[in-house]
Structure formats: structure tokens, C-alpha cells
Amino acid sequence: MVYEVPGRVREGAATPVSSMDRYREHYAKAANDPNQFWLDVTKSRIHWRKEPTEGLRGSFSTIQDGPLCWFADGELNITESCLDQHLESRGDKVAILWEGNEPGENRRITYRELHGMVCQAANALRELGLKKGERAIIYMGMVPEAAVAMLACARLGAIHSVVFGGFSADALADRIRDCGAELVITQDFAYRGKKQIPLKATVDDAVQAAPSVKKVLCVKRTGGEVAWDGNRDVWWHEAVDAASTEHAAEIVDAEHPLFILYTSGSTGRPKGVVHTSGGYITYTAYTHATVFDLREDDVYGCVADIGWITGHSYIVYGPLANGATSLMFEALPTYPDAGRYWDMVERLKISIFYTAPTAIRALAAQGDEFVTKYDRSSLRVLGTVGEPINPEAWEWYHRVVGDGGCNIVDTFWQTETGGIVISPIAPATPTKPGSATFPMPGIFPVLKTAEGQTVRGPGDGLLCMEHPWPGQARTVWGDHPRFVATYFDMMPGHYFTGDGCRRDEDGYHWITGRVDDVINVSGHRMGTAEFESALVSAEEVAEAAVVGFPHEIKGQGVYAYVVAQPGQTIDVGSLNGTVRSQIGAVAKVDKFQVVPGLPKTRSGKVMRRILRKIAEGRGNELGDVSTLADPTVVDTIRDGFQGTA
Ligand code: PRX
């Protein structure tokens, strides 16, 4: 199979084009022989107990028969790549550089120390009954113990599922039940700027509705008072600190599940996306080193949360497999003020910085002085992830934060892709503000029309991928048919991302956003179906339809149309409370509009296209609405439009 090498590069670009030659070489190599390419990559970066001889087994066309396999005959424990393999050469190098809630509150954990901590935690978890293949939930803030907990599960061959601390007890209970976890690892409270988030209390509530949980292991972070069940609850410092600092890693097959991460889709409840061991660690290590041009003395700072895939792949697994110094940041970008990131860059000499466009837009709005008063000369590469970056935000990041001298890498990827799939490679790729540029070696994007025709050359289309890569998700926990239906039914033989994309005349990729019913709020992926099911659970709400609208800072905001039950009135002020308790603090409706009915086709399908247009303030571009069951409802909705300020 020979794929055309993508893209012509812009003449006269600032970055050295010579390195694009190397990119082209790698790309061609991966296209000509993907198996050999990835076998070479994994053998050079990953510590295998039994080296694989096999690359890919399976294909997108046969995915309905079962998950894909990469490196199927290999055996490893990925923590040996993240920890043990560095002990000799990097034992005293800082692995986790933790910055706590208060500026300057630091912990510097070396590879040797981290190895000891992970072994202790693995021993303690085993004592608590956690075994290979069993699931453990991690519901924590950004403390080093959260990364230690992830690695300790992996050390045992157990499967972790990290749930972001902004989810509610209901959402947490759903996830515990779905994966049948018997152990939850949490902390008393999490600091978050001036606030303290009661994580243990939320776990207590969730466990009421999730009786599979037998043990709760709790880190003491703030020392605040928590309820305690002596039969179930165990303090981390009592169980872990006393355990041995040695632990022989459980060796597993390459395709042994490493973690489950729940993510929102178009329909139904969040899906438990499953990532496995050998392919995931290979892909995250490779992309982390390649995209960010990682060097031995870098201080790498990704300010995501481990509750999302970015934290998994590019705070914990990729960086540690590469022996990097990886930042863990507990606070908020605006605590104590909007200069916090750059204050940290100056103090910790951060050289690679990775954040979300929403943070960049919010900080740019606060004024340049918060940035310029700090010394940022250590910075070399600046990354973004999570949503399209608008050219103004890109320019500000480049000009103000990077003083015009850093490479900007706009990295496109997803929970399901495991790692970065389309992105500039620093410093090789000549960039265009707002474009994620070119695919990584081994990634073969294809743009399709809705009818399934391939768009060749410049054009717009649905972004699909043509050939498997090692880091991609293998299945949905407990529901492989749902995995196939969600990602492979739409374009047979291809993985469908759910995003739209434009390819320009130079072969650059411009992600245009989700084409399904997923909204991306501040880089957080939310399903409209989850909002709708929370809203209709309120007694007075008969029907609800939720869509996204463009939001200056958050990228997208949430717009909810709600219909009252006959004879009842809706007080929209209280509805966000319902959303908060069902989904969590992470979810909030920005605009409510009470409407007499929703626009529906004669067969009863809600015309979301119309609602989306109205919410975007484009109510005069609706086109033909005559096929609706009741076209007059559209005028009423348009007249009641709440604005998008
Ligand atoms: O719509 C795309 C957007 O975020 C979605 C994936 O969300 P999630 O699984 O939560 O993972 C986010 C972190 C990897 C994608 O379908 N997205 C992510 N990165 C970009 C992006 N959209 C445009 N440009 C990006 N760089």
C-alpha cells in the first residue's frame, strides 16, 4: 500500500524546511511498511520482556469481528518503560515536578523516588485485593499520588479509570457501575484556587449507588474533615507508606487493557473507551518525543488534568516513557492571578508548554502585562490541544507568550486516538495559524463527503483515518458493537473522527469542529444527549434540545431549548442545579430558551440543524422548513432567541 506523501510546504517559512525532508522520509516509511515502522519505533523506545515480532493484526474492514491487535506476541509491563528502564541512566532526574495550589509549593520526585512510590502503592493495592484485570476508579485532583495510583494499577495489570474531579456523584456512580470497579482511590478534598472540592464526600455519595465498591483508598491532601467508614475506607498514608518499595511488575500481553476513560458521544451515556498496553505506550512515547522535539534537559509542562486523555497521554505515560521531567499543576491558570502560568515558566524554567486554546483566549483577555512581567526565555515549544485555535489566539500565544521565537504546535487528537494524530512537528513544520498542518507518520487522513466519496486535493469533508495505528482505542468497555457502530459504520473500512476538516491547496489540515452532537466547551467534550437527559429529569420539563453556539472564550457555549410540561412553568434559574447534580460542576448551560415546542419532522425527529442555526444567531438562514410537522414553531423560537453574547 503506497500513500502519497502529504502537503507541499510554504516557501520562505521561518522554520527550517530541511527537517520536512526527514518528516517526509518517516512518513513514506510508515506508509510503505507500517508494521516494520512501528516495530522499529517500539523496540527503540519501549522496554519489552518479550519483544514483539508482529505488527498489526486485523483491519478496519474486519473490526466487527473483534478488536485490532498491535504487537500481539509481545509481553511487557508499561511501568517498566516509565520507571525501571530509567533507573540506571536517569535515577536522580526529576520525573514529576509538582506545583501545588500555592505558587512555589513544589515537590520534585525523581525517577528513583517515583519507582519506589509506585511499588509501594502497588503492594498496598494488592493488599486491598486489587488483581490483574480488575478495575479501579481514580477520582482525584492534581496531586502526585494520582499519577502514582495510575502507575500502581498498571504495575499490577489492573485497569484504571480516572474520573475528572468535576463530575458529580451520579456521574461517578454511573462509571463505577459500568466498569464494575471494587476499589476507588480518592483524596479528602482537592484545592482549586480559593476553593476546596470535597472529593471524598462525593465518593461516599456515589458508592451508595454503586455497591460493587468494597474499598476506598483516600489521600490526605487538605486535612479537612471527612466521614469515615472503618470497614471500607483506608488512608493512603497508612496503607502505602508502610509498604515495601520493591514490587515485581506483573507482565502482561501487549493487548492487555491499561485503562478505561469515559467520554461523551452523540447519543446515550458516556462510553468507556479502552486503551491497551503495548500500542498505547509506543504511540504516546513516540508522538510526545517527536511533536515537541523533546530533549534530555527539557522541563515539560502540560497543564491539563489527568481526568482527561491529555493528562493520561502527555502528563503521565508519554513523558515518563521518554524519561522526561513532567509538570503536574494543581491550581488554576488564574490563581492567584492571570500570570500564574508564566510565573511558573520563570521559576521552573519550563521549556515546553502545552495548554488549551480556551485558556489562551481567557488569559489574552486579561492583558499582556501578566505575561511580559515574567522571564519566559526558557520556552522553546508551545502546544495547544482540545479545540480549534482561532488565528488571533494563535498569534497572541506566538507573539506575546513566545516572544515570536517559539514553535507553536496545534495538536489535533481525541480520547479515541490515544495520542496526537495531526500536528506540526517542532521545529520542522512550517505552520499556518489555526491549522493542525500534517498527519503524524503512520496516520493516513481521508476526507469524505457525507455520501462516502473521497475528497481529493483541496476541499472540505468528514475527517476519517484509513489505516490503524498502535495508539488507538480498541473497543468500548463491555460493548464492542457500540464501538463499531460509533466509529466504523459511517464510513466502512475507515475510522470516523466525528470532526469536519478542510485541506487547503498546500495540503494543510484545518479542523472545523464536530459534525455530530458533541459540543466542545472550554476544550471539554460534552454530549448534548447527556444535557438533555439531565434537563428532562426536572419535573417541569417535558422536552429539551441542547446545541452549541460560538463562544468567544469557551469556544462553544451550551444553548438549551426547553418545553414545559402542560400546565407547568419553567424557572430556568433552577435548571442548572439539576444539570450540576446529574453531570457535575463541569457542565453548565449558558443560555436557556423556553419554547412552546421543538421543530420536528413529520416522523417526530427533532430538527437540530434549525436549532443550531438559531442558537448561532443565523435564524435568517434556515432554508426550507416546510417539511416540518408545525413550521410556525420556528418563527416563535426565532423571535425568542436569547442572543449569543
Ligand atoms: O473536536 C475535536 C477537538 O476535541 C475532540 C476530542 O475531544 P477529547 O476526546 O476530549 O480529547 C481532547 C484532547 C485530545 C476532537 O474530536 N479537538 C482536539 N484537538 C483539537 C480539536 N479540534 C481542533 N483542533 C485541535 N487541535
Q: What is the pLDDT of residues 266-290, one digit of tens each?
A: 888 899 999 999 999 999 999 999 9
The half-sphere exposure of 433 on its side-chain side, counting CA atoms within 13 A, is 12
pLDDT at 313 over 80: yes
CATH number for 639: 3.30.300.30
Q: What pLDDT shows up at residue 2?
A: 29
Q: What is the pLDDT of residues 405-458, one digit of tens each?
A: 999 999 999 999 999 999 999 989 999 999 999 999 999 999 999 999 999 999
Task: Report how far residue 42's alpha carbon sits from residue 38's, in angstroms, rounded to the nearest whole number.
Answer: 6
Ligand 1 and 284: CB distance under 6 A: no
The half-sphere exposure of 260 on its side-chain side, counting CA atoms within 13 A, is 25
Question: Could you tell me how many helices (H) and strands (E) the chain has, helices first?
Answer: 21, 31
For a ligand 1 pocket test, name from 413, 422, 521 the mutation site with the most ligand atoms within 8 angstroms of its C-beta.
413
Question: Cα(496) to centroid of ligand 1, in Å?
Answer: 13
Q: What is the pLDDT of residues 170-197, one digit of tens each?
A: 999 999 999 999 999 999 999 999 999 9
Question: Cα(417) to centroid of ligand 1, in Å?
Answer: 10
**Residue 19, domain member (yes or no):** no
Which atom of ligand 1 has the smallest separation from the CA of 514? Answer: 1
Question: Cα(573) to centroid of ligand 1, in Å?
Answer: 31
What mean pLDDT do residues 489-502 have? 97
pLDDT at 487 over 50: yes
How many domains are contained in the chain? 1
What H or E segment, with its residue span, contains residue 18?
Answer: helix 18-32
Give the pairing type, strands 459-465 and 445-448: antiparallel
Residue with cell 423560537: 637
For ligand 1, atom 7, which residue shows the shortest CA distance? Answer: 414
Q: What pLDDT shows up at residue 644?
A: 58
Ligand 1 and 527: CB distance under 6 A: no
pLDDT at 541 over 90: yes
Q: What pLDDT shows up at residue 631?
A: 87
Q: What pLDDT shows up at residue 16?
A: 30
Ligand 1 and 388: CB distance under 6 A: yes
Task: Report how far residue 25's alpha carbon sits from residue 441's, in angstroms, rounded to the nearest whole number.
Answer: 9
Ligand 1 and 511: CB distance under 6 A: yes
Q: What pLDDT shows up at residue 1?
A: 28
Ligand 1 and 415: CB distance under 6 A: yes
Ligand 1 and 357: CB distance under 6 A: no
Ligand 1 and 413: CB distance under 6 A: yes
Q: What is the pLDDT of residues 624-642, one digit of tens each?
A: 888 888 889 999 999 988 7
**Residue 10, domain member (yes or no):** no
Ligand 1 and 386: CB distance under 6 A: yes
Task: Report how far residue 519's alpha carbon sits from residue 266's, in angstroms, rounded to the nearest whole number.
Answer: 9
Cα torsion through 242, 246, 249, 250, rounded to 10: -50
Question: Cα(481) to centroid of ligand 1, in Å?
Answer: 24
Question: Cα(570) to centroid of ligand 1, in Å?
Answer: 34
| Percent of the chain topping pLDDT 90 | 92
Ligand 1 and 469: CB distance under 6 A: no
Q: What pLDDT shows up at residue 645?
A: 56
Question: Cα(385) to centroid of ligand 1, in Å?
Answer: 7
Q: What pLDDT shows up at residue 516?
A: 92
Which atom of ligand 1 has the smallest separation from the CA of 513? Answer: 1
Q: What pLDDT shows up at residue 12?
A: 33
Cα-based distances in Å from 236 to 233, 317, 586: 10, 22, 27
pLDDT at 8 over 60: no
Ligand 1 and 414: CB distance under 6 A: yes
Q: Is the dihedral of CA 73, 77, 78, 80 positive or negative?
A: negative
Task: Report how far residue 321's alpha carbon sits from residue 86's, in angstroms, rounded to the nearest whole number.
Answer: 9
Domain range for residue 580? 522-643
Question: Cα(126) to centroid of ligand 1, in Å?
Answer: 36
Query: Any bridge partners for residue 606, and if so which?
Result: 600
pLDDT at 463 over 80: yes
Which atom of ligand 1 has the smallest separation from the CA of 411? Answer: 26
Ligand 1 and 385: CB distance under 6 A: yes
**Residue 607, domain member (yes or no):** yes
Q: What is the pLDDT of residues 195-243, one digit of tens each?
A: 999 999 999 999 999 999 999 999 999 999 999 999 999 999 999 999 9
Q: What pLDDT shows up at residue 10?
A: 33
What mean pLDDT do residues 369-390 have? 97
Decide: pTM greater than 0.85.
yes
Please name which of 148, 96, 137 lies closest in space to residue 302, comparing C-alpha atoms: 96
φ and ψ at residue 51, rounded to 5 degrees? -65, 140
Which atom of ligand 1 has the smallest separation from the CA of 412? Answer: 26
**Residue 588, domain member (yes or no):** yes
What mean pLDDT do residues 603-617 have? 93
CA angle 189, 193, 195 (to 5 degrees): 50
C-alpha cell at 24: 517526509
Which atom of ligand 1 has the smallest separation from the CA of 420? Answer: 14
What H or E segment, with its residue span, contains residue 260?
Answer: strand 257-263
**Residue 562, domain member (yes or no):** yes
**Residue 138, domain member (yes or no):** no
Q: Is 518 left (phi over 0), alpha (psi -120 to 50) or beta?
A: beta
C-alpha cell at 67: 478488536
Ligand 1 and 498: CB distance under 6 A: yes
**Residue 612, domain member (yes or no):** yes
- The rounded mean pLDDT for the chain is 94
For ligand 1, atom 10, which residue shows the shortest CA distance? Answer: 525
Higher-pLDDT residue of 573 and 188 is: 188
**Residue 611, domain member (yes or no):** yes
Task: Report how far residue 631's alpha carbon sits from residue 638's, in angstroms, rounded to the nearest whole number.
Answer: 12
Largest CA distance in the chain: 73
